[in-house]
Structure 1
Amino acid sequence: MAPPIDSTRFEQIKASGDLPSPKGVALAIMRLANQDDVSMPEMARIIRTDPAFVGRLIKAANGVIGYGRRPIASVQDALTVLGMPAVRTMALGFSLLTNYRVGTCQEFNYANFWSSSLAAAVMTQLISLKTRAAAPDEIYCLGLLARIGELALVTLYPAECGAILRELAADSSLNQLELESRRFGMNHAELGAAMLADWGMPRVFTEAAYQSAISSDHDYPEGSRERAVTDTLLLANATGALCVASEQERGVLTRRMLMLGSRLSLDEVATTELCDNTVKSWLDWCVLLNVEASPLPSFESLHLAAVQTDAAELPPEAEFSPIAATRHVVPHAAPTKPRVLLAMPDTVVRTAIEKLLCDASYEVSTAKDTGMAIELVIDYEPDMLIIDDVLLEQGGENLLVQIRHTRIGRGLFVLLLGQRVDEEFKVLAYEQGADDVVEKPVSPRLLLARLNAGRRISSLHQELERDREEMRHFAAELAVSNRRLQEVAMIDPLTGFPNRRLFIDRMLQEWAASTRNRRPLSCIVIDIDHFRRVNDAYGPEVGDSVLRQVCQSIRSALRTQDMVARTGGNEFLVMCPDTAIEAAQACAERLRAAVEGADIVSGMLKLRLTISLGVATRDSSISDADTLIRRAEYAVEVAKKEGRNRISNMQMHPPGH
């Protein structure tokens, strides 16, 4: 189970508004999809307001039905094929891709992040069509968003993440998750899992995203859905990394993909076919979404090259983290020239002013129309903008307003060039967002003087932004300190297990999820048999040593999704999400057998201990989480009365009998 981010902390991060989140039509689609009584025609009407999303939705639907079937051509048919949950998640994913394709962390390669995520999405869908591990439309969204925690961290803390990426580039032996945890009190795997859960992704998806981010090794049972989804995502992420990897890295990734394919019972032929089909579809998606992509050689040729490569040079067992593909280390450079965007349609005048500014040591980029101007404001991130009023007269009267609504545009110094700069012109210019106006034809000396004034204003904006960044950094450090204090307050210092307070908090969250998704939830209470005798006979130091060893046995017998807490001197609580009574009984038996079979050693002393366990599973007679725990506590008392070293459950011994 993914370690939880403190719920209060996560809500604070969400409330800040800095987390990647859907915007515009995508947000309307998501809200509408959450309504129980929404109709297909109503949803189709909202979707049709975004032609770009219409094309993406229809393409996704055609990918689900496979080849040889009548192609989907309408929004209504696409909705029928995909269903509301998948449409909701696709709207989320495509909105994030559109709105977060660039950012302020220079060391993070945003283009590679989205390109590799798209390839992973396509691969998960194609694998699921073969393995049936999950619905192809839903798992496509998982592939696209599985690494969202990486994007979220660099969005929240661009400077700090940049420093971490530089450290990793300088020393590849460092562990990124550990560096993030020390710096932020959380890592991208934890944050990503929390975001996916908050967006309503199924637990099996959030767990797969977390597991694939931390390691390719897992202990999910053979044949389980968790294992199939996680291995699917691991193979898909390796495919995404291959699509953006350098030639030197492809050998490692090719071998890794074949190994991961074997986990899914895919032979070399099947894996080769999947990869080639993925690359073909990925290139189509990249064109549709305007994402960078370069064609790859066939997987068969990559495999052949990998086989011929010296094994010592490219070890087949080498791990490759998908995040490595998003590192883009930029060395610290000397202070750059002020950047000016010059937007005017007249080529002759534009060229003359561009030369004037370049001679005055400005870095200049030019745009000839309103669309190019808005695009360059976002991509080029200028310090100042010079814009000709002719562009406003050519249907771009809201251009300044649009620019001011962008993140970059809020602090941009805007100088408007006008043919007749009278009072009415100035008032309108200032109302629309201009900072200064200059009359045409432009006087070179006056233009440079006004730009110098704008340069001072721009510098003040930059200083203010640096101050804000320092405050955000301080707030992040304070949040980390608070998180660590909270963790100390919620962790039992002797065993390292969560205490009852943290357990109840998580139990309430799981109860709500169980109610919402109609999934089973079980609870186990553990009592160490005759533990007081150990303390009385050998003293508290031996007792503490014995207790820690018993806890190790308990921990080793738990499944990944289970949570255990110490609630008393020798009492423990175990929460088992998505677990019916039979599976909970089996889990309890593993715990009992693990403790009974453990050799407890303290100095010259060797002991054998046992535990009694009470099991309770949610049913219609249990109204809340407290009642579920009380039922398990009642069951463990029955087990102790019946002779200890055994398991009792509430179905066998209901209260009052």
Structure 2
Amino acid sequence: MSPPIDMNRFEQIRASGDLPSPKGVALSVIQLTRQQDVSIAELARVISGDPAFVGRLIKAANGLVALSRRPVVSVQEALMVLGLPAVRTMVLGFSLLSNYRHGACRNFDYNRFWSASLATALATQVFAERSRAAAADELFSVGLLSRVGELALATLYPGDYEGVLDAARQPGAPALPELEQAQFALSHHELTHAMLADWGLPRIFVDVVGHVEEPEAADYAEGARSRALLQTLVAGRCVAEICVSDESARPALMPQLFAEGGRLGFERDCLISDCERVVRLWVEWGALLQLDQKTPPSFAELAAMESAVIIPPPGQAAGETRNPPDANGAPEHVRLPLSSGHTPRVLIVDDEPRTRANLRGVLEQGGYEVYEAGNGRQGMEQALELQPQMMILDWNMPEMSGPDLVRALRQTRIGQTIYMILLTHRGDEEHLVEAFDAGADDFIAKPLRPRVLAARLRAGLRVVRLQQELEREHEEIRHFAAQLAVTNRRLQEAALTDALTGFPNRRYAIDRIQQEWTAAMRWGRPLACMIIDLDNFKQINDTYGHDVGDDVLRSAADALRGALRGQDVICRTGGDEFLAICPETDLPRALTCAERLRAALDRLSLSAGEVKLQISASIGVAMRESRMADVDALMKQADLGAYLAKQKGRNCVATVQRTEPGADGGAAAS
């Protein structure tokens, strides 16, 4: 269940008329899409009145089409790709962004809000392509609007909300929702939930958004669609937070992203590949929407940074988290690694300055890049920051002994690859065993002999280089796997698209109509389909050649695309045959729609040399009935309707099912 909402309070707020709401062309589009019989051509005409919406919708559509098909260049094509539900919420989101990018609440960062919302939208869309939780275009809109309650409070109560935001930043302050609840009797996530419900978003999306700030409180069953949706949106928010955070704070946010990706079942490399794609889209969209964005993150570089395990200082229990930020805002255990150079880095950790000086002389003479630390704790911090290839550690040091430092470093990813040599005054067997049990790679007894030390360093360097070569090979494999995953996705998209018309192909059509059949059965909703068979197409092909035949098919596809309703899906299932799937449509309405498609084709005229070719189609229509065993029975009825239309002289609409008296389409009673 979603969080409880004080609906009386929401009704009072809505009655004030100050809630963020769509305006102008966006409002017209939203009102128009509520009509069942609105055509794509009519929608395109209204949207074309706002050039900004045109560009944004076309870009959104091009983010979803297969790379093998031609780009979307018109509003009608964009509407066909996106579908009616996505267009409605997308236009709503873009309208709010255009009209509420500035405001009177001084503590509310409007630019950061929209940058984060955009990143959430894009990340949720990209992740949805992999998680299959919902249609990617719909989740773009959900992500864009998932924090709209914050914007609403800043718009409704700019002065009061400014104070609430200021109070939330104070040390030890209650959480922001608690402060909002105390001030306004409604928190921002409750207001988001109520606004999305009021705007008519599907209930499943509204409920999921209501839980996104506290996902652990949701009682969704494992494997449920709602749970997958929630996890997809939470992962999208993690990406957005990294995008809008300062560069120094980003590494600390990566563990949560990996955790959320793991809950979705994403492989680490695929997750990074998806995040890099999100960043590219975020930069492009940011320029289009004129947002002032931060320097985009490199998720590949951030993934290389691992959080380290720190030995707790005195007075802090093991496992207790106390990681105060450094001067740049990054937690103490997260540091940016130095770029890997050709000169090996060696860190000396010894509390005796004379020993450090002797070691430095030997190392610098050997061409090493040398760093020093005076005790074990300093050595730990510098090792995590510098990421040396090798370390030389004294056994007995204040605060942390050499073996303890080795053990602590071996618990971190960075420390696992460092070649460590322990120094001691004792060379007995007991010490030797203890050193290797702690995780040391080598052991040298004092006093130091420079030639022996140099030889052991050279031997260690060979091991380091082998490790680096192995890591490079692993990186190449990971990169190849990520590229392969992208290629597989592109091939899958191409396999579902008809290259000539740009419509989905037969394989997609069968899967989609089966999905709609299942939904119609579950919810008791009507479902209709049409078989559209072009008249005399074989004769055109045989007489004028396949080039003319291809032109006929492309022109017919464009005409059908323009006349189709926003909620319908049309696919090319054969040479001259198309299948239109009409969810939530009864037989009379389906016949009306079919007649509009027939008329659109009938108006077409193409030239083949000096000859004018007329294009027409015979369309069979059928609606799901309770007596039908499966989706094949529905398609068989539509096919019989098309055959009946051919018998009646072509260029007409027919059905073999019984219709109400006066229904359009030239129906024949069964």
State TM-score, norm by structure 2.
0.45
State TM-score, norm by structure 1.
0.46
More helix, by proportion? 1
